[in-house]
Amino acid sequence: MMPATRIRWVALHPEGLVVGLPTGSNALIEMGKTGDAEELRAGRPIVYLDQNHWSCVGLALNGDPRVSQPVAEAAYWLATRVESGEILMPLSAGRLVETDALFGDRREAVAGALLRLSRGWHMRNPVVIRRLELARALGAPTTPEPVFVPGMAETFASVTEGPERRIPWALGLYEAMLDLERVEDPGGAGARAKDSWAHKWVGITEALRRDCVGRRTVAQVARLNLLLDAADDIGAVGLQLGMPADEVMNELSHPGKLEGQPMLALMLQVLTARLHNAGQRPERGDLFDFVNLPCAAAYADVLVGEGRMIGMLRGARRPPPKAALANNLPDAVVQVEAALASARAI
């Protein structure tokens, strides 16, 4: 017996693969050759949406009356720009995991929008980018690699995929996202991981406030904990360079090392700002924002996120975000129009 599938049909297309979605719409998966991401991108601005804005897009395209008219109009405008080949709106591991928690009609709307509008593009996992930036911070010779790429293998981990594996990866992911059943968290492992992360930072924040430490100490605590979170990557980079892990840690602890790397510098600034603000307790949902949004802010052209994180990213100075920042879809349209005008001028 053939396994049940919600994919209606699959067809080859000059630009890649077309998948028929159960909503009646079609999703184009762009398929480039290995290593030609920039050529396939063809100068299109990268627009990265946080989960709440993807939800607005999905619901708007599904005709949900709860979406306000200005937001719905912005969602349609962005979808039109994607399907006309003017911009790219890649997905990420964070977006997939958060969508996976949905079920029923809401899952149908949000997952359908993600699959239809990402066109098979994704942001490489920030853990992969972190390891590359740590190596660059230590002067290791590295080849510049795009952060936003077609294919699915490095969405969750560092897996090299050839063109022959892109179709199975994509179809497997699309099938999983189209499943409308509620997915339980086995043993509560996912929730515990998020709670543990939030509890750790609540404890650190409260200790800093209790001890009335100065800004310099807060910045040092942020740097140390950012590096401790990257312990496995530091060990791997040390092995690559023939350096003991403690020597790598000591070298990266010097001010200026992390500040020279786009994503790590933004992570450090956001974390420092967060530790300064003892009035805002970290919550379990902040984990995905802290991991994914600094990466998108460092490498995308436009980032649309929730207000608190966008506010902290706007305060970043060493270096500032590469992406133009917006905290709602109508403002995102303004930023995307500017990015398109800039791209046309090149």
pLDDT band at residue 252 under the 50/70/90 scheme: very high
Which pLDDT belongs to residue 259?
93
pLDDT band at residue 2 under the 50/70/90 scheme: very low
Average pLDDT over residues 248-262: 91
> Is omega for the bond preceding 319 within 30 degrees of 0, making it cis?
yes
Structure tokens, 2: 């053939």
Rounded-to-integer distance, Cα 94 and Cα 51, Å: 8
Task: State yes or no: pLDDT of 1 exceeds 50.
Answer: no
Which pLDDT belongs to residue 168?
64
Minimum mean pLDDT among 32-41, 151-160, 240-249, 265-274: which range?
151-160
Residue type at 294 in one-letter notation: P
Structure tokens, 257: 């090392």
Task: State yes or no: pLDDT of 184 exceeds 50.
Answer: yes
> Which one-letter DSSP state was computed for residue 188?
G
pLDDT band at residue 204 under the 50/70/90 scheme: confident
Asked if 103 and 182 touch (Cβ cutoff 8 Å), the reply is yes
Q: Give 136-141 contacts, CB < 8 A, sequence gap 24+.
A: 136/260, 136/261, 137/252, 137/257, 137/258, 137/260, 137/261, 137/264, 138/237, 138/241, 138/243, 138/248, 138/251, 138/252, 138/257, 140/237, 140/240, 140/241
Which pLDDT belongs to residue 197?
59
Pairing state between β 324-326 and 121-123: unpaired
Which pLDDT belongs to residue 45?
97
49 φ, ψ (degrees, to nearest 5): -105, 135
Q: How many CB atoms lie within 10 A of CB 68?
A: 14
Higher pLDDT, 101 or 309: 309
How many residues belong to the chain? 346
Which pLDDT belongs to residue 57?
94
Element housing 29 (H / E): strand 26-30
Average pLDDT over residues 155-172: 58
Average pLDDT over residues 105-121: 84
Structure tokens, 103: 């079920």
Task: State yes or no: pLDDT of 262 exceeds 90.
Answer: yes
Average pLDDT over residues 116-138: 91
Asked if 157 and 125 touch (Cβ cutoff 8 Å), the reply is yes
Average pLDDT over residues 238-248: 89
Which pLDDT belongs to residue 15?
78
pTM here?
0.85
Give the percent of the chain with pLDDT over 70.
Answer: 75
Asked if 111 and 102 touch (Cβ cutoff 8 Å), the reply is yes
Greatest mean pLDDT range, 23-27, 76-80, 180-184:
76-80
Average pLDDT over residues 129-146: 87
Task: State yes or no: pLDDT of 191 exceeds 80.
Answer: no
Greatest mean pLDDT range, 88-102, 109-123, 207-221:
109-123
Mean per-residue pLDDT over the chain, rounded: 82
> Is omega for the bond preceding 90 within 30 degrees of 0, making it cis?
no
Average pLDDT over residues 158-180: 61
Average pLDDT over residues 303-313: 93
Task: State yes or no: pLDDT of 322 exceeds 90.
Answer: yes
Which pLDDT belongs to residue 140?
83
pLDDT band at residue 330 under the 50/70/90 scheme: very high
